[in-house]
Structure 1
Amino acid sequence: MDRRDFIQRAAMGAVALSLPQLPSAFKQTGMGVVVHSYGSRWNSKVESKNYPGFANAIDLIDHCQQIGAGGVQVVVGNWTTDFAQKVRDKREKSGLYLEGSISVPKNADDIARFEQDVKNAKEAGAQILRTVCSSGRRYETYHSAEAFQDVKTKALASLQLAEPVLRKHKVKLALENHKDWRSKEMAAMLKQLNSEWVGVTLDFGNSIALLEDPMDVVQTLVPYVLSTHVKDMGVEEYANGFLLSEVPLGTGILDLPKMIALCKQHNPAVTFNLEMITRDPLEIPCLTDDYWATFGDVSGKELAQTLRMVRQHKAKTALPRISQLSAEDRLAAEEQNIRSCLAYSKDKLALN
């Protein structure tokens, strides 16, 4: 039985008894919050009475409970056992679910560090750990086909090192489509790995930057879905391609109800985590030569389809910019966006 078959059978409950028992908090349907939604407030150096910074996972859990979130996805790294137990206690009292965000082992010498992070995350109550297997956005970081092929080779090797640790501790790893892998590349890697312990954190909007239709991405990766990054996206043309921006849920171009329904269909236990990053729009320079250095198999048709989508769904107003705001106003905009998204998820997406 390959991984795709396993996920589909698990979704129907056929192998429910073979899966690790999830804590009851994990079965909630409320929208969680990804730590990266708080890019300004996480480890903030800005003094603010209205929006004090979050120093650690406990601070984030406290705040997310206050604003009505269902859980958190937060970075796990260099935790002590004592801190992991404190996070567990806070999570249990709050009733929120917890997911970790973790880095995979770079080589055999890094396995011990990875295993300790997995153990700490599990001690705190996490059964799913999100990860990435690249060092940046594909079109900005890698400048040749050979360079990106090397990344793909190393990524598979890292996942192969991680898999026995995950299997040992019965914790699942969810690889995000992080503006690096196109969906078919990621699916091929997961199929090659063929492990029930490694799946996908399905980001609803990232892969637009790689000239992929967002619904095609969901349909390709949803058989492997363990976790999600829920977001809505706005687009706008610029001289070298198009701009891409997270926008409050319901104000962008994504068919969120359909995406969420597909995820639930394939994995009823899937978690929905809000990643509403409040920032200036990202430039996707798809009309420049350097952008194409790693995309030898992407067709002109896909470029044309993406640019047509951008033109057809041009935002009625300019995409939001925050770099000109004061630090306090950036914090306020971030908080407002997150609260707006959580309200939408309850009112319109039935995630409450």
Structure 2
Amino acid sequence: MKNVQSYFDSGRRDFLKTASLGAVALNFSFPEIPEEMAGIPMGVVVHSYGARWHSKAGSPSYPSFENAIDLIHHCKEIGAGGVQVGVNGWASDFAKKVREEREKSGLYLEGSIRLPQTSDQVPIFEKEVLAAKGAGAEVLRTVCLNGRRYENFHSEKEFLEFKAGALMALSLAEPIVRKHQMKLAVENHKDWKASELAEIIRNLGSEWVGVTLDFGNNVALLEDPTIVIETLAPMAFSTHVKDMGVQEYEHGFLLSEVPLGTGIVDLKKGVELCKKYNPSIHFSLEMITRNPLEIPVMESNYWETFQDVPARELARTIMEVREKSFPGELPKVEGLSDEQRLAFEENNVTSCLSFSKKSLGIG
């Protein structure tokens, strides 16, 4: 995209004209939180413990989580309602142990699984689906891309090749989850814009394939979190609940997961929308403690796969970054010792769980 600043300037008036109309359209009431759902606390996505998962720090205060059972034990101790954790490589005997621990703890279990990229990988995928089902999971979160769209692809051609591969992977996975009646939930993982993912799920046309709705990822793709949630909530099987802090920097803006209630995401509306469409949905925290991500929207390379983004979307995002800039410094792990990073991570998780109970009616 050329002359990004001119796009910002030209889009400013369009944004101001449409902003008030959008606010009116979004001003509708939601049903009250059902009592039976309010009793299930927020769960924890394994990525919330990026430092502690298979940690080599040897910390007595924050011992390493070596597997799903360790994570379940800890999440029970801190009052979480469940876990979402990878099931790759699970054998049936380990799945049985996970099921026993899950049943003793009373926590829900959601799996995270890799899609089969070729027909040769389908038997492995099916084995892992069966292991997750044996452990008591009913939903399997997955992603089409492990990286970030604006970093992984440097041309529209590359992105379209990725899209074709992703559609093939989903077409290989769908008959397996349908056969075993397991829900497969595709995350918006800084790869798909909300409308793109919604179209993919609709075109697949399977009751067994839906969405893991991440509340904050698509800010990196210049999308309003509330619009993303409105678009994807009707097909959501699971969630990644997070709040996002933003600050301007010379090449665009910085983006960081921040403790719930301190960022730009309308969490209450997000929770209400998800419950409206799926009353049995679980809310799982993904509070990743790391350095802020750089979103280089003022660099031409960022735009290689975004050919049709209206100028007003860039304008709206930059205006929000400036108006809602995170106070003080965004969370960082740079310069922290292993022990400090582990403590920082744990405090972030527990503070978010407390907020979810007190302010979101979860638990």
- Provide TM-score, normalisation by structure 1: 0.92
Q: Give distance in 2, aligned partners of 1:84 and 1:323.
A: 36
Would the aligned equivalents of 1:26 and 1:97 in 2 still touch at CA under 8 Å?
A: no
Deviations 1:180-205 (A, max 9, x none): 10001101111110100000000000
Q: Give distance in 2, aligned partners of 1:48 and 1:26.
A: 36
Match of 1:186 in 2: 197
Match of 1:242 in 2: 253
Task: Tell me by how many angstroms 1:114 deviates.
Answer: 0.2
Would the aligned equivalents of 2:38 and 2:361 in 1 still touch at CA under 8 Å?
A: no
Match of 1:127 in 2: 138
**Runs of 4+ off more than 2 Å:** 25-29
Out of 252, 257, 274, the residue aligned to residue 263 of structure 1 is 274
Task: Tell me by how many angstroms 1:26 deviates.
Answer: 10
Task: Tell me by how many angstroms 1:216 deviates.
Answer: 0.7
Quickly say closer, same or farther: Cα 1:246–1:130, change in 2 above 3 A: same
Match of 2:316 in 1: 305
Q: Residue 151 of structure 1: SS of its match in structure 2?
A: helix
Q: Give distance in 1, aligned partners of 2:323 and 2:313.
A: 15
Would the aligned equivalents of 1:235 and 1:314 in 2 still touch at CA under 8 Å?
A: yes
Matches within 5 A, 1:1-352: 29-352=40-363
Deviations 1:42-72 (A, max 9, x none): 0111110000000000000000000000000
Which residue identity does 1:80 align to in structure 2?
A
Q: Residue 320 of structure 1: SS of its match in structure 2?
A: coil
Q: Give distance in 2, aligned partners of 1:318 and 1:44.
A: 26
Q: Give distance in 1, aligned partners of 2:63 and 2:292.
A: 25
Would the aligned equivalents of 1:202 and 1:227 in 2 still touch at CA under 8 Å?
A: yes
Would the aligned equivalents of 2:52 and 2:64 in 1 still touch at CA under 8 Å?
A: yes
Which residue identity does 1:154 align to in structure 2?
G
Would the aligned equivalents of 2:37 and 2:279 in 1 still touch at CA under 8 Å?
A: no
Match of 1:3 in 2: none
Which residue identity does 2:360 align to in structure 1?
L
Which residue identity does 2:82 align to in structure 1?
G
Q: Which moved more, 1:318-327 or 1:179-188?
A: 318-327
Deviations 1:247-305 (A, max 9, x none): 00111111101110000001001110000001110000011011001111112211111
Task: Tell me by how many angstroms 1:28 deviates.
Answer: 5.8
Would the aligned equivalents of 1:34 and 1:274 in 2 still touch at CA under 8 Å?
A: yes
Task: Tell me by how many angstroms 1:27 deviates.
Answer: 9.8
Q: Give distance in 1, aligned partners of 2:38 and 2:141.
A: 18
Would the aligned equivalents of 2:37 and 2:362 in 1 still touch at CA under 8 Å?
A: no
Q: Residue 199 of structure 1: SS of its match in structure 2?
A: strand
Would the aligned equivalents of 1:135 and 1:141 in 2 still touch at CA under 8 Å?
A: no
Would the aligned equivalents of 2:38 and 2:362 in 1 still touch at CA under 8 Å?
A: no
Deviations 1:223-263 (A, max 9, x none): 10110000011000000000000000111111101110000
Q: Give distance in 2, aligned partners of 1:340 and 1:166.
A: 35
Deviations 1:167-186 (A, max 9, x none): 11110000000011000110
Deviations 1:94-144 (A, max 9, x none): 000000000011011110000000000000000000000113100111111
Which residue identity does 1:269 align to in structure 2?
S
Task: Tell me by how many angstroms 1:29 deviates.
Answer: 2.5
Q: Give distance in 2, aligned partners of 1:325 and 1:265.
A: 41
Quickly say closer, same or farther: Cα 1:315–1:135, change in 2 above 3 A: closer
Q: Which moved more, 1:112-121 or 1:152-161?
A: 152-161
Q: Give distance in 2, aligned partners of 1:287 and 1:153.
A: 29
Would the aligned equivalents of 1:27 and 1:269 in 2 still touch at CA under 8 Å?
A: no
Quickly say closer, same or farther: Cα 1:26–1:109, change in 2 above 3 A: farther
Q: Give distance in 2, aligned partners of 1:202 and 1:318.
A: 27
Q: Give distance in 2, aligned partners of 1:28 and 1:230.
A: 17
- Provide TM-score, normalisation by structure 2: 0.89
Which ranges in structure 1 are unaligned for 5 or more consecutive residues? 1-24
Q: Give distance in 2, aligned partners of 1:321 and 1:119.
A: 39
> Could you say which structure has the greater relative contact order, defined with CA pairs below 8 angstroms and 6 or more residues apart?
2
